[in-house]
Structure 1
Amino acid sequence: MKLSVLDQSPISEGSTPMEALKNSTRLAVEAERLGYHRIWFAEHHDSSGLASVSPEIMIAHVAAKTSTIHVGSGGVLLPHYSPYKVAENFNLLENLYPGRIDLGIGRAPGGMPGATWALNDGARRDLNDFPRKVRDLIGFLNDQLPEGHQYKTVRATPLAERLPEIYLLGSSDGSAGIAADIGTPFMFAHFINPHGGSEVVRSYRANYRPSEWFPEPKASVCIFAVCAETDEEAERQASTLRYWMLKAAQGKSVLLPTLEEAEHFVPSEWEHEQMKENETRMIVGNPQKVKRELENLAAVYQTDEVMILTNIFDFEAKLRSFRLIAKAFQTGTFY
């Protein structure tokens, strides 16, 4: 089974965005050594707790620091942008790092309404236009816009020898249906919505229309995971993730809390129920437990790839988590 990484460049209490971005780079280098298949960077706006606002810049930086791991976006929030400009960016990246660039595409706002208005410079964001934008983006990438298209004579140079590996990202059947109709791979965000994902992926496969670029359906799943040598230590480290997720659900953009703050937090009745619900969005435990549950998740989604997101306070513990998971699967080099 392939293991991959999603990183949002989370900022821990007492740290800085600069340190969070340095940590993301360290994580990518370590993930490559450990045999992880790909690392993607998220797009979040106007957030005091997440430093990854531009996946394209992160991709360029990290790809230059690595040599074999796939590097991509998780994802570019296409409704905000011109398909032409996104195609130029990713054709350029593909020329710089051939065969290693992934283009994950999302349709979420990636921030609060004020940020959405600012990103669109006050223009209204029309989600109904998303399928058209995806088609235009692919057309620009491979220089195959249909006859009669208003931009048929425009080329998204520098054209690359191959397409980046394109994924539509989603936590419901909306993006999955578009991916099936257009003919692209699909990544389900189980870490956002733990309900009904396997049914969404089954429907995606059943309704998949083969494309010239992706003749077969391909689906993956992403989940929060925290691993340590013992269940007790994993639970301790994951307490900061649980606290952070709870505050995020309340619409608060917060830094990752310290272990002391998380362990001494006393939830209200509503918060306790919310934290209980959040357990279905994550896997926490010792290496063999995490391995078993990741394999079970892959079986449920009928995929051979699982992407892991680990937002915890202690970055060294985060690195250990990825090392222990990789070692449990025997994917790479360990020392």
Structure 2
Amino acid sequence: MRLGILDQMAQPKGMTAEETAARTIELAKYAEDLGYERYWFAEHHGTKGLVSSAPEIMMAAVAGQTKRIAVGSGGILLPQYSAYKVAAQLLQLQALYPGRIEAGVGRSPGGNERIRSLLADGKPNQMGDYPEKLTNLLDFIQGNGNIKAAPRTEKAPELYSLGLGENSAASAAEQGIGYVFGHFIKPDRGEASHKQYREMFKPGLFPNPVARTAVFVVCGEDDAHAEELARSQDLWLLQVEKGLDSRVPSVQEANEKILSITEEEKIQFNRRRMIIGDPDKVKSDLLRLSELYQCDDWLILTNLYDFKEKQASYRRIKEQLS
């Protein structure tokens, strides 16, 4: 099984954005030492506690302080930007760190309409232009067409499209690029999306289908320990979905929080997006999903308050699945 990390850079309460960024670099170096294959960064805007707003910059920062691990975006909000400019940034990274750049792009607006408009410099909503922009981006990074993006690297960076259903899977397949399914957002469409991608794939940038799945995972010493750690992630996700404080609360705060029946039900509903348990359970659940999706390549998200516990969770996962 192939393992990577997708980092939203969720900021724990009581910690600054600067401290969160520094610990992210530390975690990426630790992940490389553990043997993780890749470290990807999300793009979020308009939040109080999600520090990853410029994945291209974080990719450069991590690549500059590591030696082997691939770095990527999960993903750049392509509808809001110039495909040419995105291509130039990716090619610049590829020139600096050949063979280590993995570009994941998606069609999220990045926030509410005002934030979307600011990201797009006031241009009208271009969400429907995503397939065309994806085609243009692919052409630019491959050096196709009359206008070439620079620098002209020997090989193009790898390109992936992120998605939550069959339509996004079909789009990636038709372009001949990689596909990343967001189980951590919408788990119900995983099996159908992966099947659609495999069946419709046409060779392009990749000669064969390359699919990954992103999922929340909390791996404890035992099931009880994992459940205790996950309480902070449970409350964090509940707050994020309500548009409230997106900093990660402590386990103590989560345990002391009085939740309504509706909130408790929502937490249990969100657990479908997660794998929580001891190393054996995590391995069993990942293997089950791998068989269901016919995908053995995973991007893991772990948003815990305690940094050492976060490190330990990633360590347990890698040791168990090596």
In structure 1, which of residues 282, 295, 298 is the aligned counterpart of residue 287 of structure 2?
295
Within a 5 Å distance, the mapping from 1:46-57 to structure 2 comes to 46-57=46-57
Q: Is the partner of 2:187 in helix, strand or coil?
A: coil
Indicate the larger mover: 77-86 or 124-133.
124-133
Alpha-carbon distance in 1 for matches of 2:126, 2:151: 29
In structure 2, which of residues 169, 179, 184 is the aligned counterpart of residue 191 of structure 1?
184
Within a 5 Å distance, the mapping from 1:157-196 to structure 2 comes to 157-196=150-189
Match of 1:273 in 2: 265
Alpha-carbon distance in 1 for matches of 2:100, 2:264: 42
Alpha-carbon distance in 2 for matches of 1:298, 1:162: 30
Q: Is the partner of 2:188 in helix, strand or coil?
A: coil
Alpha-carbon distance in 2 for matches of 1:76, 1:90: 11
Within a 5 Å distance, the mapping from 1:105-116 to structure 2 comes to 105-116=105-116
Alpha-carbon distance in 2 for matches of 1:247, 1:328: 31
Tell me the matched-pair count: 322
2:5–2:38 CA contact under 8 A, matched in 1: yes
TM-score with structure 1 length normalisation? 0.94
1:105 deviation in Å?
0.7
1:113 deviation in Å?
2.1
2:165–2:192 CA contact under 8 A, matched in 1: no
TM-score with structure 2 length normalisation? 0.97
1:199 deviation in Å?
0.8
Alpha-carbon distance in 2 for matches of 1:159, 1:114: 35
Match of 2:101 in 1: 101
1:255 deviation in Å?
0.9
1:32–1:66 CA contact under 8 A, matched in 2: yes
Alpha-carbon distance in 1 for matches of 2:314, 2:110: 26
1:253 deviation in Å?
4.0
Alpha-carbon distance in 1 for matches of 2:320, 2:138: 38
What is the identity, as a one-letter code, of the residue corresponding to 1:73?
A: S
Match of 1:135 in 2: 135
Within a 5 Å distance, the mapping from 1:307-326 to structure 2 comes to 307-326=299-318
Within a 5 Å distance, the mapping from 1:56-135 to structure 2 comes to 56-135=56-135
1:209 deviation in Å?
2.0
Q: Is the partner of 1:196 in helix, strand or coil?
A: helix
Match of 2:41 in 1: 41
**Residue segments in structure 2 that go unaligned for 5+ positions in a row:** none
Give the superposed CA RMSD. Answer: 1.1
1:9–1:23 CA contact under 8 A, matched in 2: no
Alpha-carbon distance in 2 for matches of 1:257, 1:178: 38
Alpha-carbon distance in 2 for matches of 1:85, 1:251: 31
Within a 5 Å distance, the mapping from 1:114-263 to structure 2 comes to 114-145=114-145, 152=146, 154-211=147-204, 213-263=205-255
What is the identity, as a one-letter code, of the residue corresponding to 1:87?
A: A
1:201 deviation in Å?
1.0
Residue 31 in structure 1 maps to residue 61 in structure 2: no
